[in-house]
Structure 1
């Protein structure tokens, strides 16, 4: 079994001594901080097990990363429907395509960097071009690991957005991961879904949120700023909105978990309301992700509003502890609130 201290650990990161491993792994590979929030363990794995109770077409495949994509929960429940493909992402995607052709609904898991970079052509030719119902579910999206560029999938949304037939999702939390897993099982085509694994925060539960494929939904209203966000950045935007409210700045949060197809109608309608500053927020490179998708939608629909992006820079990122990296690269709540204040004062 491959883990964060295996040979998939990048060579430029010193391997921690045994006594250090727990703390270092927690700091460098945890999904994200969730201080003050309840968490749910392995929501993807448990949702897949639940689906499989009534659907014998559901199968799970992984590239030697079942424990680190929560697919081990499914493997334990349905060992005869679990396939361990080894460290071979091209084989993983090709096998998933073959199973889809035979009437199965394969869920293929690995790390986001390995799916988007190593297996790209196999996904295009074997899955996307044939419009097969393979669900590619990938852990460590964006800056959710401190192991450096070899493991940080900061451009995966851009890569997958450019692929015809591919639906692209970036869920916020445990609630949405559970709901989205069930929804994509019914979707007739291929899906790429980012995965928060392990103990995942419950962010949207208190809002009575229901995931709908292809739909963006307002989580909270506000008159000065409109955040349009995806993934765990919706959690950060909600926290930033609460902090900014104390300073008399009213912020709305529009959560857009489906990056492709983008809900242009809702986004443009909300952006056109009342002269608010529109701020997109994503755990992805500033190039090619949610921000540019929203900017394109606004331009095509002639919605002219002040627009800013919270995103990762177009560069290879440092290794280190996640809280420090999120502060360094502007994904922390403190960074978001400070930048919004500056933008409003421009």
Structure 2
């Protein structure tokens, strides 16, 4: 791919906070951004050069986006596959590719792909009917985690099955939709790695982060995580296997379970910039948002080593109303998303608190 010159237009499907931060990063590199989003006055649209209001499967809106954009990307993985297919049919260049999107949209496809790429996960089984759900519990064993195959996010669309006898009832409680049944992950902590692959196949990996959740929602990330070199190397190998197997271009988020013996299992992948990578905005020379823009535009990837230790805290609902206090903290960097309604549990922003770097963070680049 020939690198896009400044002044080119990058299209983004989605107008939320990730689209907003991508648009800001693109603007810093001299690009214009076009946002396609169903809702008017979205957070991303207010900082973009062009805003197209329409459903993601609206042929008119997709045509308008394809005509104005030199490359198109997306801020979340639940964009309809049909939308990407239509954009490609219109001659648009889309990155990451349609396969990455399809794999990430279906939890069974995701884990099947990961295992085929040599990446370890928990044991799993699929179930499309109540009887299959009961059978899956007998195969996996109880307790087990049952999740809808599609559309779950921030802990939604999943329930624990404590006894095999309740499998059918839990299947019904999840809407009677196709599910995946997963064995419990006996992990000591959750880590994640943000990585990127450029148009020429080069790979750049950020230091690992340690993540803490509440009620299924990410509350806090600390990075670089304190890990042995062997763990960092393991995460880099996993990231490289996934990126290469998908022929991926862009930034990807990979959630990991760390076991007591040091083994890493992949929980899930997100073919986009990721909440656990927000620390890079104030802890790295090139953050995940600029890195994604560089990758999809065919530019060289930037450095990924940590320049500061960062604690990232998500601001949910009315917590963002403390902006004046947070802005007054000398070591804090406040990032607000421009959302109008501070609904309970809604991600309204985040704050990065910087600390001195105790030791050099791990980063890796390969050709």
Normalized against structure 2, the TM-score is what? 0.26
Higher RCO (C-alpha 8 Å, min separation 6): 1
Q: Which has the higher helix share?
A: 1
TM-score normalized by structure 1? 0.27
Structure with max Cα Rg? 2
